[in-house]
Amino acid sequence: MKINWEGVMPAVTTKFTEEGQLDLVMFEKNIEAQIEAGVNGIILGGTLGEASTLTKEEKEVLINNTLRIAAGKIPVIVNIAEQTTSEAITLAKRAEELGVNGLMLLPPMRYKATDYETVVYFQEIAKSTSLPIMIYNNPVDYKIEVTLDMFEELLKLDNIQAVKESTRDISNVTRIRNRFGNRLKVLCGVDTLALESIVAGADGWVAGLVVAYPAETVAIYKLVKAGRVEEALAIYRWFMPLLELDISPQLVQNIKLAEVATGLGTENVRAPRLPLQGAERERVLAIIDNAMKNRPILPAYKNI
């Protein structure tokens, strides 16, 4: 399946039972809700998916189940965030064998690589697979920035096609477009900057709160692309307190509480993460409760 690298792509959570095992029943319910809302792809094994806590076997289970649920309707993309280049290549090859449609690559983890090392890391993975690739550029959280000059080198490989743009600099969307035209697709990776990024020309949105509110997320994207910015902005303003839950070290716990509110998940996380406690838990629940009480009525966005 060809990936167009556009639209809304949820970075989905991994569902766990109270005993800490994969909760495939709730996982399937959530993926089905994403597809029904009109998302354009599913991304597995990101930060929100608690990838660092998953075994290789669990990752394969999630991949196989997502491919089954998606049934060729939308592409399935796997995040690569391994400790070594060799481990990253092994996972990339295995994902391709299993039938995954694309990859998202983080820079080297647990090591602040130089620009040269980072480029070589991405190149080696890209050369090991025929799958299309999106580079995750998040210098705020991962301390490594993929600069435009680095992308100049990376784009010599045809299967490096997109960037999850999370520099927090809206003007970077325009810089990328000016330098590379449509050769490098741009997907906003920061929920609180999504509408602005799409207006600036971003092709898509790798979203977090979408796992709890898929219809609202897709509606915003489609309305903006249709030029109906005022309608999108009304939904976005309602959404903003929720979207801010994504820019937190506890984004997984926050977003899982939102999934509970909409019936699309549980708050079970895998240690060392623990469910929110005390005043912080009450603060987050108050934000979610207020949003649920004022949830907007959406236009018929699927027909736009």
CA atoms 27, 30, 35, 36: torsion sign: positive
Catalytic residue among 121, 136, 213, 236: 136
Please give the Cα distance from 79 to 73 (Å, whole number).
20
Which residues are 8's β-sheet partners?
A: 205
Q: Name all contacts of 173-179 with Cβ < 8 Å and 24+ positions apart.
A: 173/197, 173/200, 173/201, 173/202, 174/200, 174/201, 175/148, 176/148, 176/151, 177/201, 179/148, 179/151, 179/152
56 flagged as catalytic: no
164 flagged as catalytic: yes
Please give the Cα distance from 100 to 283 (Å, whole number).
38
Please give the Cα distance from 89 to 82 (Å, whole number).
9
Tell me: is residue 206 an annotated ligand-binding position.
yes
Catalytic residue among 15, 164, 185, 256: 164
The binding site for pyruvate comprises 206
The binding site comprises 206
As annotated, the active-site residues are 136, 164
